Structure 1
C-alpha cells in the first residue's frame, strides 16, 4: 500500500470543509417522493400536487406524490421513517399527525423526535353548514334552537377523531349545548345527509362545501378561522358571533426523517416557499379553500407541539378512548 505524503494529507484536510457543501449543492440528485397519508383527490392531495409541481423546476427534479392512506397516517409515516434520511423522501403532515398522538394507544414512532419540520404549505378552516331550507339563519339562532331542545340537534362530521369531528366536540364544549355528533364515512356522505335533512348542521372543510353553496343547496352560518375567508367575505366567523375562544384551522406541512442534512431541509424549504408565492399556486389553493402559507422549521415545530397539546385536551374532554 502506498503511503500518503505529508503534502497529500494537508491537501486533503484543506479540501475537507468543502466536501459537505459540494454534496449539498448536488441535492436533490434524484426525484423527491412526497408520501401522503391521504387518498387521491382530496384537499391535501391536490395541495401537495400543486405545490410539488411548482417546486419541481426549482429543485431540478420532479416531486412524485405517493398516496399511502391507512391506519390513521401510520402507514405513510412509517414509510418515510424507513427511508434514507437524505431529503429525497418526505411526509405530508397535517393536524391529524398531532391528533394521532392521542388516538393511537401505542404509536410506533415519536412525531416530534423522529420527524424534522420543513415548512407549512397552507391552512384551511371549516364551515358550519345547514340545509338551504333551515329555519336557522344565523349561528345565534342555531344555538337558541339547540338550547330550547337539548339533545335534539344533530351535527354531522366525518370519522371519529377527524378534525371535523373534534371541531364539533370543541364547539359543543365552548357553547355548552347538548347535541348529538353523528360521524359518517366521508365528506360526500355528510353533505348528502345535510342536503336531505338527515342532520341539522355539518362541520366540514370548505372545499366540498363550496360547490354546494354555489348551487344553493346549503347555507354557511360561520367559518371556524380567526378571520373571515377572503372568498366568502359575507360569512362571519364563529368568534364574531359570540363564541369566545373558538377557532379551528386544518393545515398541511412538509417533514423529513430525523437525520436529514440541514442543507437539504433548507433547499426544500426555500423551494416550497418560492412555490407558495407564485400567483397560480395561491389561486389554485384558494379555490380549494386553502390559504397558502410557508413557515420556518421552528414555527412548524411550535405549531405541531401546540396542536398536540390542544387536541389532547379536546380528545380527553370528549372522552374518546385511544385504540
Structure 2
C-alpha cells in the first residue's frame, strides 16, 4: 500500500501545473514589447484588469521595450509553458524576421497563439496650416515637385514606417521618408510643417486632430472609421488596392497545454465583449477582434509574408 501511495504521489508531482490544480494558480505576467502609453500597452492594461477578475489571479503587465520587440518575445519564448507568462503579439512580430539577420526564437513555431485582441487603422495626417486639403492634394504636390515633399513616420522597420513605404511605392511618389524617434517628435514636425505629412496610429492622433493642430487626410482601413466619418480611406483617395490594419494579440510559449490556451481564449472573448471595454477602445478607433487560436496563427503567417514583400521592395537592409 505504501508503494502504491508513493507511486501515486510521484505521478502527481510529474503532472504539469495546469493538471494538478485549477489554472492559473499564481499571478500571470503579460509581457509587452513597448514602453508605457502606446496603443499596445493601453490595450494590455485595460484588458488585463478584466482578465484578472475572470481568472482569479492578477495579470501583471510588464513592459520590456527593445528594437523589434526582441527582448519581450525572447522572454516569453524561454518561459515555462504553463500559461503564467504571456506575450502581447503585434505586427512587429511579422516584420522582425525580415529586419534582423538572426532572432533568438522562431516568431511562429516557438509559440502557441491564443487569440487576436484588436485591430486598428493608421491615418495620414498633415499640419492644420498645410496647403493640402486632401490626400490627392498631397500626392499631386509630391509629384509636381519631386523631392520637395517629405513624409514621416516613427523608427525604420515599424509597421507605421512600412505602411508609409507601401503607400509611397503604390502611389509612385517621389518623396523621402523621414523617420523620428518618438511619436511626439513626428507629430510636432508635421504640425509645424517640417514635413508634408505623416503616417501614425489613429488613436495617437485623434486628440491633435480634434484640437485643430493636425488635419486628417485619409485612413488606411478598408472602410471609414466611426470616430472620423468625414475622412476618406486611402482607397477612396486614389489608391484602390491600398488597405492596412495594425493588430495585436496574445501568445504563450510553445508547449502550453491546449486546455490553458482555450481557457485564455474564452476569457479574452468574454472581456472583449464587455460594454465598458468596448466603450474605452472604440472611441480610439481600436476595434476588439477576438479569433480562434488557429486564426491568430494564420494572421501572423500571412502578415509575415506581406511585410516581407514590402521590406524587399523598399530595399531595407537587415540589421
Q: Return the TM-score normalized by structure 1.
A: 0.93
SS of 2:108 mapped into structure 1: helix
Show structure 2 runs of 5+ residues with no match.
none
1:1-323, aligned counterparts within 5 Å? 4=4, 23=19, 26-323=22-319
Deviation at 1:201, TM superposition (A): 0.3
Q: Distance in 2 between matches of 1:109 and 1:4?
A: 42
CA separation of 1:241/1:25 partners in 2, compared to 1, >3 Å: closer, same or farther?
farther
CA contact (8 A) 2:34 2:41 kept: yes
Q: Distance in 2 between matches of 1:73 and 1:240?
A: 33
CA separation of 1:94/1:135 partners in 2, compared to 1, >3 Å: closer, same or farther?
same
| Structure number with bigger Rg | 1
Deviation at 1:69, TM superposition (A): 0.6
Show structure 1 runs of 5+ residues with no match.
none
CA contact (8 A) 1:174 1:244 kept: no
Q: Distance in 2 between matches of 1:160 and 1:53?
A: 32
CA separation of 1:275/1:226 partners in 2, compared to 1, >3 Å: closer, same or farther?
same
Q: Per-residue displacement from partner, 1:128-160 (whole Å, max 9, x unpaired)?
A: 001112211111122111111112211010000
Q: Distance in 2 between matches of 1:290 and 1:130?
A: 21
CA contact (8 A) 2:128 2:213 kept: yes
CA contact (8 A) 1:24 1:263 kept: no
Instruction: Give the root-mean-square deviation of aligned CA atoms.
Output: 2.1
Q: Distance in 1 between matches of 2:74 and 2:280?
A: 30
Deviation at 1:302, TM superposition (A): 0.9
CA separation of 1:259/1:134 partners in 2, compared to 1, >3 Å: closer, same or farther?
same
Deviation at 1:42, TM superposition (A): 1.1
Q: Per-residue displacement from partner, 1:253-295 (whole Å, max 9, x unpaired)?
A: 0000000000000000110110000011111112333111111
CA contact (8 A) 1:69 1:76 kept: yes
SS of 1:231 mapped into structure 2: coil
Deviation at 1:20, TM superposition (A): 8.3
Q: Return the TM-score normalized by structure 2.
A: 0.94
SS of 1:111 mapped into structure 2: coil
Q: Distance in 2 between matches of 1:319 and 1:276?
A: 38
CA contact (8 A) 1:24 1:264 kept: no
Q: Per-residue displacement from partner, 1:91-122 (whole Å, max 9, x unpaired)?
A: 00000011001001011111110011101110
